């Protein structure tokens, strides 16, 4: 007995069942570079994409990246439950917005802000966006100061070491600020306090100090830089703020180097960024930026958006972006706490320093850093004659599945070619043993070749500073 009579007037003329178009299955050929005209069933589409991705490198053997390649199953579950949350919909997802704010307060406290409960900050897609926002705040503050004094604002500059990540060169290019890049010289691979002060003038919107450098994992001397700028303020009257680019180090130093003074304890530090997806241990992409107080972030940069019923202050380059990463950051903060982060980062550092020492012991290499700041170290070939370059070593390791980038340093040490290892959560002493084994085999093979095969032109790796804009700015 049908519950709805076939002659029910409402159903007349609509005899077919309507099927969700996604439920139909049509096998078809798949164009490579054009949107296919027809559909595939989900299992086929999944398999095609999955198989293609098998040819990507193995993330666990990738010693080039700083970015998280493993999270716990519980974190993965939480993220998949939150994939549908748009971070910008703070009115619809007030709890997600609240978790973001809690993370900001936790970071403000970790970085010794005077009043973590009122400090401003936000999540971003990564450190790059965070640095753009911090740089904009520096520029706008400088403009306000200059205008108030009746001075011109047409020639802003930002002082930083040439070892900055490419995001700072992008910032300078996109927002038309002169990038004053202090070159390396001799064994000096980082910005020094003296050089920072020497490059400043009345048009300097700020100085960027890096904790630590992507080139070699070393920390820049933030406290010394601040002290030099304090002297400059006394002598010349230029009150120049410091931004700390702690993409990696702001989630390492607080746990591993509690006595190092680099953060808001220094009155001159106006803002700090970090990548939640580096040593914050979250999958890409989430970053954070925190300003020391309301004065450090000019109010005229903050938009009050009246959106879907709520008034919401935002300072961001993006509008929509995923909320799951922010939720995962909060999960990690709860899950690990101070002690958990300390254990994870100290273990990374222990693996890094032990591995660096073993590599130094192999003979052909000289360490530039030893993994005792960021769990990252760079090494080069000794002065002696070698049948190979660092680029040959990188290629030979790649044949064995390991990604260890080789690259040359920036000005004025372009003559220096190095290999770099980044130790991340999940890289164990056991894996380090296997890397040393692979390196030893590679060196035996390379020793037997007639002479060096590869130069810097073979380096596929770019962590930034060597990257050039497509069209040079005049
Ligand atoms: C990685 C890195 C950046 C860029 O960060 P993303 O999170 O990849 O956007 C900026 N500065 C430093 C020092 C870095 O290590």
Distance 115 CA to ligand 1 centre (A): 27
Confidence of residue 30 (pLDDT cuts 50, 70, 90): confident
Listed in order, the ranges of the chain carrying CATH 3.90.1150.160 are 343-458
Lowest-confidence segment of 305-314, 359-368, 382-391, 415-424 by average pLDDT:
305-314
Distance 116 CA to ligand 1 centre (A): 24
Confidence of residue 154 (pLDDT cuts 50, 70, 90): very high
For a ligand 1 pocket test, name from 69, 158, 167, 289 the mutation site with the most ligand atoms within 8 angstroms of its C-beta. Answer: 167
Indicate if the pLDDT at residue 36 is higher than 90: no
Distance 158 CA to ligand 1 centre (A): 17
Confidence of residue 474 (pLDDT cuts 50, 70, 90): very low
Q: Which atom of ligand 1 is nearest the CA belonging to 130?
A: 9
Q: Residue 329: CB within 6 Å of ligand 1?
A: no
Task: Return the pLDDT at 271.
Answer: 98
Task: Return the pLDDT at 126.
Answer: 98
Distance 361 CA to ligand 1 centre (A): 31
Lowest-confidence segment of 262-266, 433-437, 451-455, 464-468 by average pLDDT:
464-468
Give the mean model confidence (pLDDT) for residues 26-50.
Answer: 82
Closest to 278 measured CA to CA, from 258, 306, 256, 252: 252
Distance 447 CA to ligand 1 centre (A): 36
Q: Residue 123: CB within 6 Å of ligand 1?
A: no
Task: Return the pLDDT at 460.
Answer: 62
Q: Across the chain, what does the average pLDDT equal? A: 91
Distance 128 CA to ligand 1 centre (A): 6
CATH number of the domain at 343-458, please?
A: 3.90.1150.160
Lowest-confidence segment of 44-48, 240-244, 351-355 by average pLDDT:
44-48
Q: Residue 214: CB within 6 Å of ligand 1?
A: yes
The class of domain 77-333 in CATH terms is: alpha beta
Closest to 443 measured CA to CA, from 408, 402, 394: 394
Residue nearest to atom 2 of ligand 1 (CA): 247
Query: What percent of the chain clears pLDDT 70, i.e. is strictly above it?
Result: 91
Lowest-confidence segment of 206-220, 240-254, 312-326 by average pLDDT:
312-326
| pLDDT per position as a tens digit, 439-452 | 999 999 999 999 99
| pLDDT per position as a tens digit, 11-21 | 666 667 777 76
Task: Return the pLDDT at 360.
Answer: 98
Give me the phi and psi of 353, to 5 degrees please. -70, -40
Q: Residue 369: CB within 6 Å of ligand 1?
A: no
Give the mean model confidence (pLDDT) for residues 70-78.
Answer: 97
Indicate if the pLDDT at residue 74 is higher than 90: yes
Q: Residue 465: CB within 6 Å of ligand 1?
A: no
Token match 């010394």: residue? 224
Confidence of residue 239 (pLDDT cuts 50, 70, 90): very high
Task: Return the pLDDT at 470.
Answer: 38
Q: Residue 289: CB within 6 Å of ligand 1?
A: no
Distance 285 CA to ligand 1 centre (A): 11
Indicate if the pLDDT at residue 345 is higher than 50: yes
Higher pLDDT, 263 or 473: 263
Indicate if the pLDDT at residue 383 is higher than 80: yes
Task: Return the pLDDT at 424.
Answer: 96
Task: Return the pLDDT at 28.
Answer: 59
Confidence of residue 43 (pLDDT cuts 50, 70, 90): confident
Query: What percent of the chain clears pLDDT 90, i.e. is strictly above it?
Result: 78
Q: Residue 124: CB within 6 Å of ligand 1?
A: no
**End-to-end CA gap in the chain:** 81
The three-state DSSP-derived secondary structure of the chain is CCCCCCCCHHHCCCCCCCCCHHHCCCCCCCCCCCCCCCCCCHHHHHHHHHHHHCCCCCHHHECCCCCCCCCCHHHHHHHHHCCCCECCCCCCCHHHHHHHHHHHHHHHHHCCCCCCCCCEEEEECCHHHHHHHHHHHHHHHHHHHHHHCCCCCCCCEEEEECCCCHHHHHHHHHCCCEEEEECCECCECCCCHHHHHHCCCCCEEEEEEEECCCCCCCECCHHHHHHHHHHHHHHHCCCCCEEEECCCHHHCHHHHCCCCCCCCCCCCEEEEEEECCCCCCCCCCCEEEEECCHHHCCHHHCEEEEECCEEEEECCCCCCCECHHHHHHHHHHHHHHHHHHHHHHHHHHHHHHHHHHHHHHCCCEEECCCCCCCCEEEEEECCCCCCCCHHHHHHHHHHCCCECCEEECCCCCCCCEEEEEECCCCCCHHHHHHHHHHHHHHHHHHHCCCCCCCCHHHCCCCCCCCCCCCCCCC
Q: Residue 127: CB within 6 Å of ligand 1?
A: yes
Rounded Cα distance, 426 and 29, in Å: 40
Q: Which atom of ligand 1 is nearest the CA belonging to 213?
A: 13
Task: Return the pLDDT at 11.
Answer: 60
Q: Which atom of ligand 1 is nearest the CA belonging to 277?
A: 7
Distance 119 CA to ligand 1 centre (A): 23
Task: Return the pLDDT at 396.
Answer: 97
Listed in order, the ranges of the chain carrying CATH 3.40.640.10 are 77-333
For a ligand 1 pocket test, name from 69, 126, 168 the mutation site with the most ligand atoms within 8 angstroms of its C-beta. Answer: 126
For a ligand 1 pocket test, name from 211, 278, 316, 325 the mutation site with the most ligand atoms within 8 angstroms of its C-beta. Answer: 278
Task: Return the pLDDT at 6.
Answer: 54
Distance 352 CA to ligand 1 centre (A): 20
Q: Residue 128: CB within 6 Å of ligand 1?
A: yes
């Amino acid at each position: 007995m049908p519950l709805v009579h076939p002659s029910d007037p409402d159903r007349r003329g609509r005899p077919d069942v309507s099927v969700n178009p996604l439920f139909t299955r049509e096998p078809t050929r798949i164009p490579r570079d054009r949107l296919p005209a027809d559909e595939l069933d989900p299992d086929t589409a999944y398999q095609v994409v999955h198989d293609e991705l098998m040819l990507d490198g193995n993330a666990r053997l990738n010693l080039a990246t700083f970015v998280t390649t493993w999270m716990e199953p519980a974190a993965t579950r939480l993220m998949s439950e939150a994939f549908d949350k748009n971070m910008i919909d703070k009115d619809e997802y007030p709890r997600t917005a609240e978790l973001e704010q809690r993370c900001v307060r936790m970071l403000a406290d970790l970085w010794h802000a005077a009043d973590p409960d009122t400090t401003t900050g936000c999540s971003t897609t990564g450190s790059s966006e965070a640095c753009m926002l911090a740089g904009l705040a520096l520029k706008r503050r400088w403009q306000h100061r200059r205008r108030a004094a009746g001075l011109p604002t047409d020639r802003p500059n930002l002082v930083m070491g040439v070892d900055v990540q490419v995001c700072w060169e992008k910032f300078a290019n996109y927002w038309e600020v002169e990038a004053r890049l202090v070159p390396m010289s001799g064994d000096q691979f980082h910005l020094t306090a003296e050089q920072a002060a020497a490059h400043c003038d009345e048009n300097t919107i700020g100085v960027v100090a890096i904790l630590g450098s992507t080139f070699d994992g070393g920390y820049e001397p933030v406290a010394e830089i601040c002290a030099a700028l304090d002297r400059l303020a006394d002598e010349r009257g230029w009150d120049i703020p410091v931004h700390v680019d702690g993409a990696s180090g702001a989630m390492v130093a607080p746990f591993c180097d509690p006595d190092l003074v680099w953060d808001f304890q220094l009155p001159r530090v106006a803002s700090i960024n970090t990548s939640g997806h580096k040593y914050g241990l979250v999958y890409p992409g989430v970053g954070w930026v925190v300003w020391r107080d309301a004065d450090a972030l000019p109010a005229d940069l903050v938009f009050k958006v009246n959106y879907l019923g709520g008034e919401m202050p935002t300072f961001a380059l993006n509008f929509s972006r995923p909320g799951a990463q922010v939720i995962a950051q909060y999960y990690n903060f709860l899950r690990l706490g101070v002690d958990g982060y300390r254990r994870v980062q100290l273990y990374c550092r222990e693996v890094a320093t032990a591995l660096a020492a073993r590599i130094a012991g192999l003979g052909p290499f000289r360490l530039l850093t030893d993994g005792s700041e960021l769990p990252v170290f760079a090494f080069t070939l000794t002065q002696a004659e070698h049948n190979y370059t660092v680029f040959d070593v990188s290629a030979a390791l790649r044949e064995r599945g390991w990604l260890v980038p080789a690259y040359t340093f920036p000005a004025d040490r372009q003559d220096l070619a190095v290999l770099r290892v980044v130790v991340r959560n999940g890289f164990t002493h056991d894996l380090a043993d296997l890397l040393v084994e692979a390196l030893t085999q590679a060196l035996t093979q390379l020793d037997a070749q007639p002479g060096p095969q590869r130069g810097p032109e073979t380096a596929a790796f770019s962590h930034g500073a060597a990257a050039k804009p497509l069209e040079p700015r005049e």
